[in-house]
Each structure stands twice: as structure tokens, then as C-alpha cells.
Structure 1
């Protein structure tokens, strides 16, 4: 029984076998590392060499599988993303725009929602992603205890944490929550307010901590009284409850809320108690959620560019993968104060 052969001297069975990266390398007369560089569109490959490799790929109809590529490059071009198991606008917007940036860089993203956003739950999520051989891990942090834990981990892949902190770190990427908060409070001071309250986010949230620090420092710089801080859980419902309590006491003429949803709840509570915003109380939020400009009144707030944040996170990831020894402490992204109708000079007749 005879066996037909293909043009390269192999059997017909072999000719039907899917080509691999080593077949491409042999046909093009280069190393498999060079083929990998062409496949990943990396620099330092001569034009003529790149052309030979591309011709060999076309001739062999080679289509690299993720597993094969990972075997040769030791990379999967996959990034693990851990997000809190909440519907909060900030973390979700961060995750969305990071996915866009990763896709533009030709990486895929495996997302894990951490229902238990404590050190134990986050560590379990990290371990599950490491078993999938991701190239790096991005963690959106909502708890300072988690931040302390992950910064102390000795991991086999780079980790980038999205969290505001007063302490610089090469592993952190964030908005400048502190200066954004100071700008919000400064706006109220420039309008003439001297009694400015703060309704903060959760006490353990890094973003809330930095916004509260900015509020306090701006008041201290201007030698204004610092009232006791009230906390809410980022939601309009919790903001409404705090606003109801505030309406009974009216201890200030302006309120800086830690996010727009808290501000929305406060505005609703004050309005229901017969108070007017901004005539009786001025309110500033933080985040510039899409509906902020359509509230009654439209909300003065601090805008954050999530598209820029997603790109910065991806840039940090790429540097960590390609140049693991490079020191790169990121400068927090600037925020922008958006002045709308919820703030005005204090009313002399306000209660």
C-alpha cells in the first residue's frame, strides 16, 4: 500500500495536520522567536524577514491558538481584572474603559467580580486568575485593608491597583481625588460659604478617604471650622437619609458630597423638607455621572475622565509586563470642576 506525499516530502496525513509556529519558522528560515515577534507586531524585525514570515504564515494557513502562543512566548495576552461586586458608577466605568484600552492593545480581559471585597476574598480572586496564567492583574480597590494586603504580596505577575492614596507607589493608578476635593471646597469658599459640611463615602474606601482629606485641608488652609463628618454608602438612598437628618439641623450653608449619587439623595431630602438648593444650601458632588447635568437643579460636581484612566491603567500594565524592573510611579490624573446651578453665594436669610 503506497502513501502519497506532499510537496515538502511529508505524508498526506502530515499535510493535513495544522501547521504550528515551528513549521512557519522552518519555512521562513528564521527562529520561532522571530515568528513570535512578527505575530505580536513587535519591533526590531527587518522588513524582509517580516515579509518572509508573513508569506510562510499565509502559505501554511497558520492560525496561532492562544495555548500555542502562550507556550512559546510564556504569555497569554490576557489580563485579569478584579472589580467589586457592586453597581457603583466609578468602578464600573473604570472596568469598561480599561476593557476598551486592553482591546486596543490586543489583550483580552478575564473579569472577576469580588462579592467579598475584603483581603481574604480578593486573595481568592487573585489566586483564581493566577491559575489561568494571566500576564498581569488589575484590581479596582474599594477597601484600604485590601490595598495594604495587595501591596505586600509577592506575586509571579505584575499587579496594578486602581486606588487613591496619599502614599506614592509604582503599583497604583488613580484620579487625583485629593486635589479634586480641594477644588470643590475652594469653589464654595470663593462663593462666600464659611460653614461647609462634608458627607463622605464609606470610611474604609480609599477614594472617600482622599476626598475627605482634601475637604479638611482646604478648610484648614482657609482657617474655617471643620465639622464632624457624616458617612454614606455611595448611594442616593443613603444620601437621602443623611439629607433628612441635615434638614432638621441645618448646621451649614453648603455641603460637599463624596459622590453625585449621595448629592442627589441630599437634594431630594432637603427639597422634601421645603429647603431650596442653592438658595438655602449649596451642594457639590463628585464624579459627574451622566445624569448630573439634568438634575433639578443641575449639579456642580468634579468630573473624572474614565477613558483616560483606562488608558493609563493599560499603559502601566504594559510597562510592568515589558519592563518589570522599571520604576514608574504614576502621577494621579487631574480632575475638573464643573460648575452648575446647585451652588451659589450664601443667602443672608437662610436658616
Structure 2
């Protein structure tokens, strides 16, 4: 496909865009060879490739990526539909996706959703379906992909993070349940009779999984299951929960569903004269960079967001490259319990 066109130059003249044929003449090769070099085809000897690349540089040739995409049916672009750019998990996962996609020669097209409603999700999928993308990664923590109303055009591959995708789409996520089990068992092994819990938002899929795992561990251990206190991921909600828990004389250990709420707990306990960890032990979830600098340093569950992002890219590329050989499945990234100064055996 010819790639001539015009660009403005000083003085109002139009500079003719360099074509593939121009590069071929300068390099002394065929247009087909230029095309193979432009598309990264491996079947070109090194000396010829360098000769063609030098001609491209000399002439200022820029391959027409849109034309190449139409010709080969591939855009080398991954779409990302994302809820809450401000959350730790979303931002760090997105960063990893962008990094690993770029390393594979893919660009990222981002559509953020401020309000997680079914209509907004449907609208985002519709817009993404109109764009030139080969695959879509959906990072959401609400239960909005199981209604059957969200569809993408055939040939667009989908990977979901932090939500239930049924059996339609592949899922890559942190092993939320196992991370919770590690946190709760750590507190029980220290000798605490039971563990109280500050949850994330009730609409959050990851919060639901953490609450369910917390309850299961206590039940299987034959321990009392205290009523959970509901938070919203914020330090403010953790602080409010902490003020209530500080009035519970039997509360000696708390598992917070994220580190920000754990920070609020620490502040509330300090205000009420409940020492951490002497009076109350606290465990968080995420292992944000600041967790090691809380007072005291926070024991927490480490999520490997970089690995989640890497596996998302790996999964969509596997679907793109071997579409007939992949089936939807769930890939869980392991967690690690990081023990710091906010947990200890109960007094007495």
C-alpha cells in the first residue's frame, strides 16, 4: 500500500511523504524486503536489514501502522478498561501492563470508568469495540461482567482482573483467599482467641473473597466469628472502625482488608490508648510502600501487582498468537505474608 501523503513545511509548501518504494530505491532492495523489515519479519539477513534501516533514517520514512494493521488484521494495541486510577492495586497493575506490553511491541489504549455501573461498563466495552485493539484487559472490582449484556466483537480477546468473569473470559488475579488465610492464621498462631475484621466495600469482589476466607478460617478453627465492620478502603473508614473496636475489651487482633484501613486503625487505637501490638495486633493487605513506615511497621499481605500485570499481558498475547489453543481459565498470583512490628502474642 503506497504511503505517500503531504506534510506542511515552512513557507506553506507541502513536503511529499516518503514511500516504501522510495526506501527500496535508496537501499537497492525490493519493496517487499522493505515491508518485511518494517514489520519486523525475522527472515531478512542482518546486513540487508541495516541497509534498509539506514535508508529509512536517511529519508525520514515512517511506516503507516494503520495500513499495516488493515493488511495483517492486527493493531498491536491492547485496550484497558479500568476502575479507580487512584487505588494502589489498579495503578500498579496498569503500570506493569504498560511496561510489559511495550516490551512486546504493543501500545495501550486506556478507558477509565469513574462510576462502576452496568451502563458505564457496557458503554466502555462499546467504545473499546470501536477502537483498533487486538485485546482488552478489564481491571474492575465489582460484579458487573456476569449479566451477559457486555459483549465485544468477535476476535477481540479479553482478560479480567479482580472480578468474576464466569467461564467466558480468562481471569488473572491475586490469590485473595490464600493471602487472607495467611493473615488470619498468623494471628491465631500467635495465640489470639479470634480475629476481628474490617472489610472493604460490600460491592467489591476482592473484599468479598477476603471476608469469606476470614470467616472460613475462624470457623474451621472452631473460633468465634465476630461481626465484621464495613469499610470503604479509606483510612477514614478504618479510623471509624478502630474507634468502635477500641471499646471491645475482647478485641486483641484485627485483620483489615487493606493497608489504608489498617492505618486508620492504628490512629484510632493510639487515640484510645490501646497500644499496638501490646494490646491489639493489626494485619493489613496489599503491602503498600508506606506500610514499612507506619508506627509500628505494619504486618501485611504482599500482593505482587507487577506479576499480575505481566501475566495479563502474557495471557492476552497467548490468546492473540494461538487463538485456537487457549481456553478461559483463572490464573492466581501467590501472596506473601510480611511480618513486621504490628503483631505480637496477646498479653497474658
TM-score (norm 1): 0.84
What is residue 316 of structure 1 aligned with on the other side?
315
Shift of 1:170: 5.1
Which 10-residue stretch deviates more, 154-163 or 58-67? 58-67
Matched, 1:192 2:191: yes
Residues 68-83 of structure 1: matches in 2 within 5 Å?
68-83=67-82
C-alpha offsets along residues 244-272 of structure 1, whole Å, 9 cap, x if unaligned? 11112244211111000011111111111
Distance 1:230 1:151, change over 3 A: farther
Question: Where does the alignment leave 5 or more consecutive residues of structure 1 unmatched?
Answer: 1-15
Residues 148-227 of structure 1: matches in 2 within 5 Å?
148-149=146-147, 153-156=151-154, 157-163=156-162, 171-227=170-226
What is residue 249 of structure 1 aligned with on the other side?
248
Shift of 1:337: 0.6
d(CA) in 1 for partners of 2:115, 2:292 = 33
Is this contact kept in 1: 2:126–2:152, CA < 8 A? no
Distance 1:319 1:40, change over 3 A: farther
Which 10-residue stretch deviates more, 293-302 or 130-139? 130-139
d(CA) in 1 for partners of 2:95, 2:187 = 32
What is residue 6 of structure 1 aligned with on the other side?
none
Shift of 1:227: 2.1
SS, match of residue 332 in structure 1: strand
Shift of 1:323: 1.7
d(CA) in 1 for partners of 2:251, 2:123 = 45
Is this contact kept in 1: 2:146–2:166, CA < 8 A? no
Question: Where does the alignment leave 5 or more consecutive residues of structure 2 unmatched?
Answer: 1-14
Which 10-residue stretch deviates more, 90-99 or 55-64? 55-64
What is residue 325 of structure 2 aligned with on the other side?
326
What is residue 147 of structure 1 aligned with on the other side?
145
d(CA) in 1 for partners of 2:35, 2:232 = 48
Which 10-residue stretch deviates more, 199-208 or 149-158? 149-158
Shift of 1:289: 0.6
Distance 1:167 1:136, change over 3 A: closer
Distance 1:301 1:167, change over 3 A: farther
What is residue 96 of structure 1 aligned with on the other side?
95
Is this contact kept in 1: 2:299–2:338, CA < 8 A? yes
Aligned residues: 329
SS, match of residue 202 in structure 2: coil
Distance 1:36 1:267, change over 3 A: farther
d(CA) in 2 for partners of 1:148, 1:25 = 52
SS, match of residue 70 in structure 1: helix
What is residue 282 of structure 1 aligned with on the other side?
281
Matched, 1:233 2:227: no
SS, match of residue 145 in structure 2: helix
Is this contact kept in 2: 1:28–1:56, CA < 8 A? no
What is residue 339 of structure 1 aligned with on the other side?
339
Shift of 1:75: 2.4
Calculate the aligned-residue CA RMSD, in Å: 2.7
Is this contact kept in 2: 1:164–1:177, CA < 8 A? no
Distance 1:183 1:339, change over 3 A: same
Shift of 1:341: 0.5
Is this contact kept in 1: 2:194–2:223, CA < 8 A? yes
d(CA) in 2 for partners of 1:281, 1:165 = 34
Is this contact kept in 2: 1:164–1:176, CA < 8 A? no
Shift of 1:192: 0.8
d(CA) in 1 for partners of 2:134, 2:91 = 22
What is residue 3 of structure 1 aligned with on the other side?
none
d(CA) in 1 for partners of 2:149, 2:339 = 37
d(CA) in 1 for partners of 2:172, 2:216 = 22
What is residue 7 of structure 2 aligned with on the other side?
none
C-alpha offsets along residues 304-326 of structure 1, whole Å, 9 cap, x if unaligned? 12222221111112112222222
